[in-house]
Amino acid sequence: MNRYKKVFLSLLMSTSLVFGLTACSESDTNGAADTTDSSETSDVSPYDVDNMKFDNITIKVSSKYGGTGDNDEFYKKRVEEFNEMDNGITVEMDNISTESDYLDKLATSFADGNTPNVFVEFGGSRCLDYVQADALVDMTPYLDYDQEWKDSFMSGIWDATQYEGTDGTWGIPFHLYQVCLFYNKEILEENEIEVPTTFDGLIDACAKLKADGITPFQVGESDTYRWGHLLNCLVLKSYGTDMVNNLADRSVAYDSPEMIKMYQTIKDMFDNGYLGENPLSIDASTEDSLFLDEQAAFKYDGTWFISTALNSGIYDKIGVVSFPAVNEEYASVNQGGPDMIWYVSKLNKTDEEIAASVAFVKYMACSDFAAEHVKVSPDTFPFKDYALEGEAKDCRLLEEVQTLMDQTTEYRTDIQTYDSASHMINTVRNALQGLGLGNSAEQCGKEIVDRIAEDE
Amino acid sequence: MPKRKKEITISVLLLLPAVIIFAMLIIYPVCNTVWLSFFKWKGIAGQPKEFVGIANYLKVLTGNSFWNSMLNSLYFMIGGFGILMPLSFGLALIVTSNVRCRRFLKTSYFMPVILSTTAVALIWVYILNPSFGALNQFLDIVGLSNGKKDWLSTPTLNVWCVVLVNEWMYAGYNMLIFVAGLIAIPDSIFDAAKIDGCGFWYRVRYIILPLSKGSFKIFAVLCITGCLKVFDLIWAMTKGGPNNVSSTPAIMLYTEAFTYKNFGKSSTIGVILLMTGIVLSLGVNRCLRYKED
């Protein structure tokens, strides 16, 4: 009897374990989703998501707005408002504030097929793999169906969401930026330095400041995008936007004399101490703090810095100009454009989930979103008309930045995002860090080219 | 059914749950990783994988970055055997001796182990910060300003900083391995040694060290495998940077998969690490067994 009990128990344990583990595994691994559509769409166009009725659909939305700043709080509030609309859609937020962790989690979700319905990305070649894998929803028919929504966006902002060789608009931008040169008026006045309008003027100003014992820039290159942005500005201001295309199609190599010159400029700035002390150990938020603590005279940064500056004690001392031109011909070309883009995933998603996701995106990427956002945090958005109220009203820096943006004739965001290889942005940024470790400009170029060859 | 056959059946059935768990959570992932290492895959579910044969292995083994990361793992091993082993053994001798405050010392030595890796990393990142870190401030105070460094951004030095933090963190844990070996030595041997007039160093040399061989073997295997797959502390302190100079194979494995989306190449690194770990562990076992004989 005892023996039979043992046998019975063993069998029970084994079978329960097998069933348990099977239940844990993915029910569908080949990407085929249940396309049953329970939304009442029979008399409504499949693209008219505003008039669809949803039957308790829950969608998961991933973003990096997990912090406690004004932008993050506004985002969460906006999502809560969407949930209170009682439209049959419930949004579950998955917010991770550390950018690299957020992007890693996103990559993992694509690998296991359990992607969020909607997610924020920076666009360009970073999302090319997802487009090529047919994992994203083409937003073109939704934009075409709702012309009013489509027309509310500024023209020329769709670059980052479109790819050569694929027809479609694969994301909806909801934030716009330009990299500008912020400066501390008081420090410049005290040291009798004019606000630089050319790159040579900037280098002269850095030399004078350094000689006077003042740190010109304190860059937080521990976050690798900082020198990445500097390289973007230098390339755009030296060679214009053609160079971006030439680098992308490899007609100009990353170890060409033109690019070596750019790396050398960064290296010289680093070696001369113009980029601050120990930039490799300082992160971007510390960089902000040091500039606002008047420990650096200049800071190149995106227009998102306005909201940080607004709450600081030195707001009145901060001025802003376009990043100085290396070549006068390209003075009005700037790093910028849409940098925050909503994407809708269709990997293992039902039609109803996709429609609900688009409805959410429309709520989060529109003029009303921008108008509400600037009330609590002045910033720049890719929409044509929205009222500047609240914090944005009479915000001097925002007005100055908008004037600079109006003067810009061409935008390009991170130059590697136009590349066909999705790893380029990380490859280039990584190699640039080597300049701070004693690598030569030539080594920097070689490192990038070697990695390209390795990947191909 | 004969008695023997029934016993075997019952044994098999009782072992089955563990075997199933082992197969599903260890054997299957390992086999899947080996299989994936022969493919190129961007890491998007449902997308076809392109068979590339041994191309991933050639890329990894002929690339500088892999060998640089292996060199960093080697630094961890050197630190493990050169610093951690004597330190842990010394601490084990202290806490098993008759010294006062043994309990307090035991708790103190073990304290870093119970802290999370991220917390330890954050503490040390702040201590080693070149601008406001305690270490550079201390060097200023004692008049050694020339010795101030950017500890976590200077190549090689940053790896050694992490190695030392690693030894600080795991000394208590490894101490327990040696303590287990030390308390297993019969008191009668020490009593006899005392009667023979053996001093402390003689006891260590001729009694404790030979009888702690098992502990050293366990330490060696754990140290080798641990150093090969070291990830968490170095990720939390330097993320393998700047410019990958402090990267280890495990960090390379992670970045290849999640930053560069080369899941095939990442799997290849995983397989190489696994094989290296197995070969080195078997080597250590064989080496120490041979000496025992």
Over the stretch B267-289, which tens digit does the pLDDT of each residue have?
999 999 999 999 998 888 888 77
Nearest to B14 among A10, A130, A422 (CB): A10
Q: Are residues A99 and A203 in the same domain?
A: no
- Domain total of chain A: 2
Question: Minimum mean pLDDT among A386-400, A434-448, B158-172: which range?
Answer: A386-400
Say which CATH number the domain at B108 has.
Answer: 1.10.3720.10
B36 within a domain of the structure (yes/no): no
Residue A310 scores a pLDDT above 90: no
- CA distances, A300 to each of A182, A309, A320, A412 (Å): 6, 13, 9, 16
Q: Find the mean pLDDT for residues B137-150.
A: 91
A36 within a domain of the structure (yes/no): no
Contact (Cβ atoms closer than 8 angstroms) between residue A302 and residue A177: yes
Q: Are residues A97 and A181 in the same domain?
A: no
Average of per-residue pLDDT values in chain B: 90
b/e for B144-172, b at 16 or more Cβ within 10 A?
eeeeebbbbbbeeebbbbbbebbbebbbb
Q: Find the mean pLDDT for residues B238-255.
A: 92
Give the pLDDT of residue A242. 93
Q: Are residues A192 and A315 in the same domain?
A: yes
Nearest to B150 among A18, A130, A280 (CB): A280
Say which CATH number the domain at A271 has.
Answer: 3.40.190.10
Interface check B19 vs A, CB under 8 A: no
Q: Are residues A246 and A314 in the same domain?
A: yes
Over the stretch B37-94, which tens digit does the pLDDT of each residue have?
999 998 888 888 999 999 999 999 998 899 999 999 999 999 999 999 999 999 999 9
A39 within a domain of the structure (yes/no): no
Q: Are residues A280 and A244 in the same domain?
A: yes
A324 within a domain of the structure (yes/no): yes
- Residues B208 and B185: their CA atoms lie apart, in Å, by 8
* ipTM passes above 0.90: no
Residue A14 scores a pLDDT above 60: no
Q: Tell me the shortest Cα–Cα distance from A130 to chain B, in angstroms.
A: 7
Q: Are residues A237 and A216 in the same domain?
A: yes
Over the stretch A216-261, which tens digit does the pLDDT of each residue have?
999 999 988 999 999 999 999 999 999 999 999 999 999 999 999 9
Which three-class secondary structure state does DSSP give residue A374? helix
Q: Tell me the shortest Cα–Cα distance from B36 to chain A, in angstroms.
A: 13
Which three-class secondary structure state does DSSP give residue B56? helix
Residue A25 scores a pLDDT above 50: no
Over the stretch A160-214, which tens digit does the pLDDT of each residue have?
888 878 889 999 999 999 999 999 999 999 999 999 999 999 999 999 999 999 9
Question: Could you identify the residue written with the tokens 């650096």?
Answer: A296
Tally Cβ neighbours within 10 Å of residue A195: 16
Beta-carbon separation of B257 and A31 below 8 A:
no
Q: Are residues A114 and A228 in the same domain?
A: no
Angle at the Cα of A364 from the Cα atoms of A358 and A369, rounded to 5 degrees: 150
Give the pLDDT of residue A4. 65
- CA distances, A175 to each of A11, A141, A341, A433 (Å): 59, 22, 7, 28
B82 within a domain of the structure (yes/no): yes
Burial class (CB within 10 angstroms; exposed 0-12, middle 13-18, buried 19+) of A229: buried
Q: Are residues A349 and A332 in the same domain?
A: no
CA-based nearest residue to B133, from B119, B155, B145, B150: B150
Q: Find the mean pLDDT for residues A409-429.
A: 89
Give the pLDDT band (50/70/90) at residue A9.
low
B187 within a domain of the structure (yes/no): yes
Over the stretch A95-117, which tens digit does the pLDDT of each residue have?
998 887 888 889 889 988 899 99
Beta-carbon separation of A278 and B260 below 8 A:
no
Beta-carbon separation of B17 and A17 below 8 A:
yes
Q: Are residues A125 and A154 in the same domain?
A: yes
- CA distances, A244 to each of A9, A97, A258, A310, A423 (Å): 68, 30, 12, 33, 16
Q: Are residues A59 and A158 in the same domain?
A: yes
Contacts of A108 in chain B (CB under 8 A): 258
Give the pLDDT of residue A89. 94
Q: Are residues A211 and A277 in the same domain?
A: yes
Q: Tell me the shortest Cα–Cα distance from B10 to chain A, in angstroms.
A: 6
Nearest to A30 among B24, B46, B257 (CB): B46
Contact (Cβ atoms closer than 8 angstroms) between residue A404 and residue A302: no
- Residues A81 and A77: their CA atoms lie apart, in Å, by 6
Over the stretch A39-88, which tens digit does the pLDDT of each residue have?
444 567 888 888 888 989 999 999 999 888 888 899 999 999 999 998 89
- Domain total of chain B: 1
B14 within a domain of the structure (yes/no): no
Q: Higher-confidence residue: A146 or B285? A: A146
A76 within a domain of the structure (yes/no): yes
Which three-class secondary structure state does DSSP give residue A295? coil
Residues in contact with A370: Cβ distance below 8 Å, sequence separation at least 6, in sequence order: A381, A383, A386
A35 within a domain of the structure (yes/no): no
Beta-carbon separation of A30 and B42 below 8 A:
no
Over the stretch A332-361, which tens digit does the pLDDT of each residue have?
999 999 989 999 999 989 999 999 999 999
Identify the domain containing residue B84 by its residue range.
52-292
- Kindly identify which residue of chain A lies nearest to residue B240, measuring between CA atoms: A430
Identify the domain containing residue A111 by its residue range.
49-176+338-392
Residue A1 scores a pLDDT above 60: no
Residue A23 scores a pLDDT above 80: no
Give the pLDDT of residue B288. 76
B274 within a domain of the structure (yes/no): yes
Contact (Cβ atoms closer than 8 angstroms) between residue A159 and residue A143: no
Nearest to A10 among B13, B129, B130 (CB): B13
Give the pLDDT band (50/70/90) at residue A24.
very low
Q: Find the mean pLDDT for residues B222-249.
A: 92
Give the pLDDT of residue B161. 95
A281 within a domain of the structure (yes/no): yes
A22 within a domain of the structure (yes/no): no
Beta-carbon separation of B258 and A108 below 8 A:
yes
Q: Are residues A170 and A232 in the same domain?
A: no
A444 within a domain of the structure (yes/no): yes
Q: Which of B33, B149, B153 to mutate to test the interface with A (most CBs of A within 10 A)?
A: B153
Give the pLDDT of residue A357. 95
Residue A37 scores a pLDDT above 60: no
Nearest to B46 among A31, A222, A422 (CB): A31
